[in-house]
Structure 1
Amino acid sequence: MQDPSKLKSFLNDLPHLPGVYRHIAENDEVLYVGKARDLKKRVSSYFQKNLASPRIAHMIARVVRTEVTVTRSEAEALILENNLIKRLHPKYNILFRDDKSYPYLMFSGHAYPRLAYYRGSTNKAGRFFGPFPNSYAVRDSIQILQKVFRLRTCEDSVFSNRSRPCLLHQINRCTAPCVEKISVEDYQQDVQNALRFLDGQATDVIKSIEHKMLQASDALEFEQAALYRDQMQSLATVMHSQSMELNAQVDADIIVVLFEGGKCCINLAMVRGGRHLGDKAVFPTQVNGDSEEDVLSAFIAAHYLENQLPSQLILSHALPDKTLLDLLIEQQSRKTKIVLRPNETQKVWLELAQQNAHLALGRALSETSAKEAKTLALAELLGLPQDPDGLNHLWIECFDISHSAGEATQASCVVYQHHDMQSSRYRRFNIAGITPGDDYAAMKQALQRRYAKASEDASEMPDIVLIDGGKGQIEMARQVFEEYGLDTSKIVGVAKGEGRKVGLETLIFTDGRPSLALGVGSAALMLVAQIRDEAHRFAVTGMRAKRAKQRNVSRLEEIEGIGAKRRQKLLARFGGFTGVVNASIEDLQSVEGISQQLAEKIYESLR
């Protein structure tokens, strides 16, 4: 709790300006990050005698200091707030763990544009349609466009080296531009029709194709007329399958918040150009005591700071503060209408989104029960607390070593807690100063670096430390723990079975307990194997990235327009790849041979 005299002075000195505040606990743990239009009024409201929320009162009881950052505007404060929440994961903020960008449908910037699935920055050559709520929606749209407009999906390298049409041409899914079975002009017309279709102009596209069919028929080009006829029929079939659609040209997001069984689900459905693109379920964490309106507000801020606002937002609940939407509209310079009283068509979409949220929650609750059962089985096996709160906070770390014949040795540390893998807390250790290929020395170095501070701070120590390896690796772990005065009973070795088959592993202990071979049917062993495999995957991907870097395989090579000479100039100018990554567009442009356009391309590609 903060000193009352210091608190009063602190609150008196706060400015009436927009900014971000952070409530911090005794161990420097950030408990909560918030934004404010007026820092003085907002922060002072937390330190009143009677707080409306018991959850906030519990948090304030732990706060030892509050830090503030003044910003130029409330919109800037909103951006900073969300960046800090993503980086710090405060205990009392609503968190959205899925940090994957949304996928797009891409038409490449080629004379014969390629139709492709794409995820990443859209600041590059080509046309992008989306975002889509999930990858299935993108692939479904690609199949539709292939069937109707017969556009190519092959890589440019494949396209440039073909001497005869591929199978897709034979099954009428591609016009084979690779061997010039279609002219550039006709192919470009198909691309434009596809784009118009995606923009909700399907009726206009059909009329255009019908006109071409009649022209071909009048010119006695009956084979070409038949192709246009088939295209029209396919397009009509696709339009008919979209039985529930909004008006053409309408872009809308339907967002539903639902609580069931102590868990929260946000279901986001997307409509673009009048076409329903599917939906995506998101499960926020740390929502105890938060209302549907609060969860909805937090999601909208996190989602639309990185994605474009549609023309309509159809919501299941009202926003607690309209200021949030005003800030997002100001930032994007777009007009967006909130729909809380949907018309007949919008109501159908809202009910469908609610139904899908209910189904997604049912599946999630079922999966959660299965995960909890595995955690309980492992706790029982190891004699750990088995109460619900203890199981939820059971903290497991697992270590593995990976190298390529002694080259690019990396150690991984993955974390399991709250019945799931916590990828934001994973760590990798670059191993140096050992004999190449010495897994024992590598394991010892990784453990020393991870637990050096744990002897002074008990909060740094997990409940279980899994070591992927046999007796040699386990002995290294025992030595490190004894060196730092740590509890060796926390160490559990996972010795591989024959062929690394799950179910044949043996658990090894360092405190005198006999080894255990649990067998395939053990839920505890299934959890251990899951965590062990994730540690192995994380170590291998890290090793491969390090090996590629050591072999001078740079991401710069993947950027179009950057050859060997320009790459060398960039690396020399900025002292290595990291320097290039951190360089601004102006800095990049200062290098000989790098135009402003190329500098922008490098800047975006490396981010």
Structure 2
Amino acid sequence: MELEVQIKSLPNSPGVYQYFDRTDKLLYIGKAKNLKKRVASYFTKTHENGKTRVLVKKIASIKHIVVETETDALLLENNLIKKYQPRYNVLLKDDKTYPWICIKNEAFPRVFLTRNVWKDGSEYYGPYTSVKTVRAILSLIKELYPLRSCAYNLSAENIENEKYKVCLEYHIKNCKGACEGLQTAGSYDQDIKEIRNIIKGHFKSSLKQFEKLMFDFADKAEYEEAHKIKEKIELLSNYQSRSTVVNPSITNVDVFSIVSDELFAYVNFLKITNGAIIQSHTVEIKKKLDEDDKSLLELAIVEIRDRFKSTSAELYTPIALDIGELVKVTVPKQGDKKRIVDLSLRNAKYFRQERFKQIQIVDPDRHTNRIMAQMQKDLRLNEEPRHIECFDNSNIQGTHPVAACVVFKNGKPDKKEYRHFNIKTVDGPDDYASMEEVVHRRYKRLVEEGRDLPQLVVIDGGKGQLSSGLKSLDILGLRGKIAMIGIAKRLEEIYYPGDPIPMYLDKKSESLKIIQQLRNEAHRFSITHHRNKRSKSAINSDLSSINGIGEKTVLTLLKKFKSIKRLKSATFEDIEQLIGKDKATKVSQHFKIESPPKSTL
């Protein structure tokens, strides 16, 4: 049951999954574009391979790490397999799997493809999962910026002493001759600056140069070369400039993040060694005294670092912390470091969502209690809104005004309690008066019947509709017994009695989602009733207008054919059999239904 719950609560996101046996031994690491679908497939398919069947039988628990892209999932899978070498994975012994682009730390830097990353001060970009992409980048760079490819030591002293001579690359215009001082260091560095932006993916400023080069080839009728440039531009526009999960600029660092709600906090830990993520772990912390995120995160960091025996001297976190002088705490604001903190935060949020899903499956009462407590706090209510009702009006150009009331109990629809209202006391399209009428009718009846009143009433509309609903509560003496709010459609603003300034809930909050669900359900229920009433009215008026066709005949026809469309497609014989020849003739003539030819005998 526990494994089944874990699978059901997995996210539909790219990432890496890890299978463990009953002794918590790692069995297998895999990547997925959609974690939930991929993992579920192991347990729903019949596997022909015997080893796969054995693996599935041994799986006792599943862990996963969520990443941004499928490419990141591939790279992370590679890192983890090399680190842990699980029994059922192909062993990856080659550390030079993926290519990088290197801007060499030297005078007049070279730019080239490499599979080795050295700590020599050079800049490394990648890794890339496609060598084709790397070669396309370097080829396009070469078209635009003639750089040296030689390994000479182009120090100012060597150039001044004329130690080197230009080679063939200079004569075929692939190089500007920096070795003989024919290109200045400033000019070369400007080219490197632009190349660096291209590699990072910031090549919009260079796009015009790319297009100009392509059109120049086309003007010279060199269409093959123009097409090559076009293909390179298309490759570049789709390539991923940097990986979040493998980055040589981030080395031997612990990354922590936290998300929390009323009852629990969730802390994620990412371990980065030699520029690659090798570990992810998330813990759930139950709050005792309404502790803040800072104190909970400090507590969790000490416990997690001790558990995993981490000695990293630097931490990345989303908030400033004080955990002693021996560890440096960095709060990144932008760039690669910020992206890795965001990835940690993403994993913490997904873990929280999965816990909610698991609790909803195995302990629905706890799930409901948490949501009710959260709604009470978010909506500033005196008690938990276990019983909520929502009202919506519907009319089109003032015709057939109706209203609907939907009921939610413990955050879920209670459809048997839904009610429709035909507006009785209001003439014309007056939403405010209609709202006042239906709220009064609803709660007058509940009081008279001695039924339970809701803790919260939601009015679909802004300040005007809310005021109308409140008038009815005042008349009934229920103003202090029932909380009432309004929700406006435009910006999802929440209005409170006597407060002209609306409140805005977090767009992702569960409280707002439940209120939106209430509003949408009330709107759907109201519109359905309005549509049915209009259809019935149109049918009745159409049939009743036929001379000699009374109400009883109309009901007989509607009961049989259900709609005017079906009646029109019926044969004369079908109608005659139902209401007789005389009336069938009148109906057929009205709807131009072809009657059988008269007998000449």
TM-score by length of 1: 0.30
Higher Rg of the two aligned structures = 2
TM-score by length of 2: 0.31
